[in-house]
Structure formats: structure tokens, C-alpha cells
Structure 1
Amino acid sequence: MSLSVKMLVDEIIESLAEEAKYHKAKEVIVGLRQTLVILDDGRAGVNMTLRGNYSQIPSAALELLQLAKSPNPLLASVGCATINAFLSKNGEDFAGNEEIELMDIRTTDRVAIIGNMTPLIPQVQSRAKEVIVFEDNQLIASKETFPWWAEKLMLPDCDAVLVTGVAFTNKSVDEILSWTKKARFRAMIGPSTPVSPNITRAGRFDLVGGTRITNTKIAKAVIKSGGGIRDLKGFTKKTVLVRSRQKLSAIILAAGAGNRIGGIPKALLTLQDKTFLEITVQKIKNAGVNDILVVVGADAEKILPLCRELRVRAVVNDNWQAGMLSSIITGLEALPQDIDAIFLVPVDFPLVKPETYSAILEAWKKERRGIISPVYNGKLGHPVLISSGYFDEIKSAPREAGARAVIHSYEGKKDLILIQLDDPGTREDVDTEEQYEKLLAKLRAQNKKSKKK
């Protein structure tokens, strides 16, 4: 389910609801700067106090959780502090000085900082090419910061995005995520941050950093007197949750009817006793990508048994006559939500060198963003590796233009990363019987030449 349908706050409340049925709040303290919720088992959570109308606060933990969805900012603060109390044992204690030690920020990056991270700004500036700060608090905002309404315009071009946990409290996080799909690195940090696996799920954030209260007695006294997190130094611990690894898949496009090649499915054409599909699957697996999805359409009943034999997943595109884009969309919609990037591989490029797949994959591991395409003799080839931030754009592309038009639209921009490779196979597809015969003749000639040596 997309973020536009179910908000992140709903997901986290659902994940805690069953446990919350058996707990109550021992104490709720709404302070000038922070709100503190202490559960009946001693767990405690804090959240920045947002201004709003004060009203009756329930004691049942499940009802307190629901307050996180309230349009009243103050009640939302109470609800989010309750969430943080339930999550207070999540994450690992962070022994370092600053979370920036865990951030993937590079010297070429344009970094967005959303919210009050004043101590962190100079550290980010020392590492990045450009830093953009968004802040609406008039006590902190300056001529060097941008207001919230500029986020939609500027965030899509950022390589890294750092946001405070208050974005979760005020429910702006879902929009921020939608505007930063192409960012290589995203982090949510600060005392109000819920250290929940839901935050890192589906590639939302790569790093989550929150705060654990270690002395509730001191915390109560400080927060009652109007103090903040800095006044609790020595009585809290920073906790972090790091997204462990990137997930890649490959989509092999094999839905065409093969009308120009004698009606034989291209996936079942052979080279040296191996089918095109078998050759392609093996090269992808050798590069280190094991999650492979084959999109079939025409002659699906002939190709599906081979997919089972090769132990790869398959999905049928019933609308294969609509063209390649329909198969790409079918494949994308069949992928798990937490995929970070895909190899997009037409099955009729069997001569792509194995090392080409490896080179593209290594480039993506280094960049962790964008669209990566091989180039041979100055022309883009196959396969391409596409980061998840571009999936929606491909799905909404005009049918006639297809995914290739989306890729070409980024030529000359940092989104499209080109790798110059000595691999003519990236440009050699097999569309007709004549091309297939030429390919077989070429291989026979190569075999004769190698035997003479």
C-alpha cells in the first residue's frame, strides 16, 4: 500500500496496537519544551511539545497512541511520546559523538536539512558541496534558511536529506518522502524520532536516530520545569537503527510474440545449447543478483516451465500486445516495496558480457542513486540499472515513449550515470530471423578462430 493511502503514523500505531492493549500511562507530563510519557512498566518516551489546545488526556496506552494522528499539535506530541515510550528499547546505543559518523554524505552532494539541527549544520557543510536548510520556527529561521513551502520545489534535486523527528509529529514526513525518492541517503534524527523498523522499511530512511531516557526521575523534574533534551545530558542515550543492506532485483522482459523471428519466443532461442533466458539468468546471478523476475506474455505456457527449472519468479503480462512498457509496469508492480533498484534486461540481448553486469552493479553500489546505463560507441545500451526513485515516473510514461524516453530525458544530468564499456553486446539485440542467423554465424566463426589458436 502506498504512503499516500496509509500514512507512516498509521503503520507504526498498528504495529504497537496489540501490545498497547495491556498497558496504561503511569504519568504524562506536557512541558514547555518536551512532553514525557511514562508507561506502567517504567518505559519512557519524549517528544518535542508542539503548541496546541490542551484537553483531557486519556490514560489507556492504546488511546494515547491514537493521539499521534490528532490534528491538534499538542495532543499529537503526547501520542508520539507514547510511541517513543513503546519503542524505547529499539535500536542500538550509539557510542559516537554525532550521528554524522553514520551518514553517507559526499563532497559532491547537495544536502537538505529539515528542522532545527543547528549543531549539525557546520559538520554537514564541511562534508558536502551544498547545504540547504528549511526552518519555519521564526526564532531560528534566518535569511539563510528556506520556508516549508519551498521543500516541494527544492527537495527533488537533493542527494541526501536529513529531517528531524518533528516531521513525524506534524505529519509532514510522508510528503517529504514523496519529494525525495531520488535521494541516495535519507536520515531521520532527533529526540522526537520513533526508532521503528517501519521508518527504514521500503527504503524510506537509511538511518534513524532517537533518544532513550535512562533516568525517568530526573527527566520528570527537568521537563516539569520547562527544560529540554540538552538539560538531560547524562540521563539519556542516543539510539540508532541503520538500514542494513540494499535490495536489488532484476526484471527480464520476455513477453513478446517473436513474430519477426518465426513465431519462436525469444526466451527459448538457443546459443550453444543454452536458451536466451538461461544465458541471461546465469549472467545476472553471477553478478550477485538472485531475485529475478521474468515477465512473460505471449507463449507464457512455453516459457513458465523453464522459469521453474531455472528457479526464478515469473509474472504474466496479459496485456503484452500493448508493448514493452506494459511489461515493465507489470514487473514493477510485482516487486516487493523495499526494492532499491532493478536491472532492466530485455531477453534478446544474449551477448552482453558477464563483466558488464558486474560493472554496472559496482557502479550502483558506489553511487547508490540514479539510472546507470552502459555506453558502447557513444550509444546507450542494455541492460540498465534503475533506482526505485524513478519507478513512478516510468509507470506514468506515455505508452509510445516508454521507459527509454524517461532514461533519455536525463541525459546530461547527474541522474543518468554512463559507463563506457567495450561490450558490443549491449547494442546487439535479436529481433529478426536474419539477425539471429547472423548471430549464429558470428559465433561459429569465433569458435573456428579459437580452435585454430
Structure 2
Amino acid sequence: MNTEEKYYSIEAILLAAGESSRFNDTKQLAFVDKKPMLVGTVEMLKQVNFNSITVVLGANASNIENVLQQVNLEPGLESITLPSVTSIIAHKWQQGMGASIAAGVTNLAQEITHVFIGLTDQVEVRSEQCSLMVIESRKNPNKIVAAFYNGKLGAPAIFPKAYFAELALLENDKGARNILRANATTIISIDMPEAARDIDTKKDLLSYESNTQT
């Protein structure tokens, strides 16, 4: 293990605080691939080499937390060391994604050197893609690593500690978009067309289900 890897510690922050107004229901708990969307995303992230995972909640927090407590290990994985999963409340979640990111980053332990920011509703993003991002981040610990889709950089993304203070000040609905734009020339981009599909409406969910069944 080299010195860069020795001091590399990454936490995944999963944003799940929105009220899903366009979905007209608690989107995080909508069934995708036979399980609540949030549960599926958390189980996926548990297969990535993260030190820990924090789910940021806001709207409908108590109901979502109850379901989150039911996340179980997949059969055969009990002997593998998996990251712990905890949750926090973003008390200013109504301000948008930026406030949720800020809450998650403010909650990071001192030893965390990098943060992965992911979205609950990017249901086609897989653990293999997230693991590739972590590998690139370990190779280039001073750079942001971000998914590239629809002609732009976006979530999921990994930020080094040098950006934590800036992330902790976010408060609008644009998330970390401006930080990505400001550093676009130095960011390591990972082509990830799958990240372009998110579930915003029930029509989106039906479209996803129809595509996976064909």
C-alpha cells in the first residue's frame, strides 16, 4: 500500500431528502427491481469499497428511516466486511440538493479524505461503475472524479477533502454543479450514460420497468 492509499478514506453520501413532488408519492420507497428504490441503491453502494455510507434524509424521514433499518445483507455476503450505513437529517432540505450535500459533508468524520456523492434515483448506476470511480480517485487523490453523461459532468462524483469547505456551504437546488463547472478542465470524467436515467415521475418508473422486462 502506497502512502496515498494509506491515508485514503472515503465516505459515500447518498442524497434521499427530497419530497418527490413530481412523483406524487414517497419516491425513495417506490419499488424498483422488487425492492424499495432506496434499499436497492444502498445495497449497491455496500458492494463498493467505501469506508462508510451516510444517507441524508429530509422529507418523510421517519417513514424512510423505518425502511432503511430493514436493509439486509444479500445471501452469502455475511463474511465480507461491508461499510456501515447510517442516516442523518438535513434540516434545511427544502432549500434543495445543495443543502443536503452540505449536511452530509458537515457530518463527515475528521479522518475522511474523500466523499462520494450519489443520488437515490439513478437506478441504472451499478457498483462496478462506482468502484471504477474510487479506483481513479485513489490514483489521483487530489482531483475530482465525476460521471459524464448528456454532454456534462454530474453525479455521482467524488470530491477530495480540499473541496469539503466549499461543499459544506452549498444551499441551493443545483447541488455541486457550479463546483464541477469551475473545475471542469481538471476533473477526471467517467463516461456513464446510465447515470442519465433518473426516476423523477411515475412515468419514468414505468418506462424503466418496461425496458428491463424486454
Are residue 276 (structure 1) and residue 57 (structure 2) matched? no
Aligned to 1:155: none
Q: Residue 363 and residue 244 in structure 1: after superposition, are their counterparts in 2 closer, same or farther (change >3 A)? A: closer
Q: Residue 438 and residue 316 in structure 1: after superposition, are their counterparts in 2 closer, same or farther (change >3 A)? A: same
**Greater relative contact order, per chain length (Cα 8 Å cut-off, separation 6+):** 2
Matches within 5 A, 1:3-42: none
Aligned to 1:424: 193
Are residue 444 (structure 1) and residue 213 (structure 2) matched? yes
Question: What is the CA–CA distance in structure 1 between the aligned matches of 2:171 and 2:16, rounded to whole Å?
Answer: 21
Question: What is the CA–CA distance in structure 2 between the aligned matches of 1:400 and 1:321, rounded to whole Å?
Answer: 9
Matches within 5 A, 1:41-440: 244-264=6-26, 266-310=27-71, 312-376=85-149, 378-397=151-170, 399=172, 401-412=174-185, 414=186, 416-420=187-191, 423-440=192-209
- 1:374 deviation in Å? 1.9
Q: Which amino acid aligns with 2:159?
A: I
Question: What is the CA–CA distance in structure 2 between the aligned matches of 1:397 and 1:245, rounded to whole Å?
Answer: 26
Question: What is the CA–CA distance in structure 2 between the aligned matches of 1:290 and 1:278, rounded to whole Å?
Answer: 18
Aligned to 1:152: none
Kindly provide the CA deviation profile for residues 355-381 of structure 1, in whole angstroms up to 9, marking residues without a partner as x: 111110110111112210122354324
Aligned to 2:80: none
After TM superposition, the score normalised by the length of structure 1 is: 0.42
* Residues 144 and 159, structure 2, Cα contact 8 Å, conserved in 1: yes
- 1:401 deviation in Å? 4.5
Q: What are structure 2's unaligned runs of at least 5 residues?
A: 72-83
Aligned to 2:77: none
Q: Residue 352 and residue 316 in structure 1: after superposition, are their counterparts in 2 closer, same or farther (change >3 A)? A: same
Q: Residue 323 and residue 301 in structure 1: after superposition, are their counterparts in 2 closer, same or farther (change >3 A)? A: same
SS across alignment from 2:163: helix
Q: Residue 397 and residue 290 in structure 1: after superposition, are their counterparts in 2 closer, same or farther (change >3 A)? A: closer
Q: Which amino acid aligns with 1:304?
A: E
* Residues 294 and 307, structure 1, Cα contact 8 Å, conserved in 2: no
Q: Which has the larger radius of gyration?
A: 1
Q: Residue 335 and residue 425 in structure 1: after superposition, are their counterparts in 2 closer, same or farther (change >3 A)? A: same
Q: Which amino acid aligns with 2:70?
A: E
* Residues 295 and 316, structure 1, Cα contact 8 Å, conserved in 2: yes
Q: Which amino acid aligns with 1:417?
A: I
SS across alignment from 1:259: coil
Aligned to 1:213: none
* Residues 150 and 196, structure 2, Cα contact 8 Å, conserved in 1: no
- 1:302 deviation in Å? 0.7
Q: Which amino acid aligns with 1:251?
A: I
* Residues 255 and 320, structure 1, Cα contact 8 Å, conserved in 2: yes
Q: What are structure 1's unaligned runs of at least 5 residues?
A: 1-101, 105-184, 186-242, 446-453
* Residues 381 and 427, structure 1, Cα contact 8 Å, conserved in 2: no
* Residues 54 and 85, structure 2, Cα contact 8 Å, conserved in 1: yes
Question: What is the CA–CA distance in structure 1 between the aligned matches of 2:128 and 2:177, rounded to whole Å?
Answer: 23
Q: Residue 290 and residue 277 in structure 1: after superposition, are their counterparts in 2 closer, same or farther (change >3 A)? A: farther
CA root-mean-square deviation:
2.2
Q: Residue 397 and residue 377 in structure 1: after superposition, are their counterparts in 2 closer, same or farther (change >3 A)? A: closer
Question: What is the CA–CA distance in structure 2 between the aligned matches of 1:337 and 1:376, rounded to whole Å?
Answer: 32
- 1:395 deviation in Å? 2.4
* Residues 284 and 290, structure 1, Cα contact 8 Å, conserved in 2: no
Question: What is the CA–CA distance in structure 1 between the aligned matches of 2:126 and 2:56, rounded to whole Å?
Answer: 22
SS across alignment from 1:312: strand
The 10-residue stretch of structure 1 (357-366 or 307-316) with the greater mean CA deviation from structure 2: 307-316
The 10-residue stretch of structure 1 (298-307 or 368-377) with the greater mean CA deviation from structure 2: 368-377
Question: What is the CA–CA distance in structure 2 between the aligned matches of 1:396 and 1:337, rounded to whole Å?
Answer: 17
* Residues 255 and 317, structure 1, Cα contact 8 Å, conserved in 2: yes
After TM superposition, the score normalised by the length of structure 2 is: 0.86
Q: Which amino acid aligns with 1:424?
A: P
- 1:408 deviation in Å? 1.2
Identity %, equivalent residues? 29
SS across alignment from 2:155: coil
Kindly provide the CA deviation profile for residues 4-49 of structure 1, in whole angstroms up to 9, marking residues without a partner as x: xxxxxxxxxxxxxxxxxxxxxxxxxxxxxxxxxxxxxxxxxxxxxx
Q: How many residues align?
A: 202
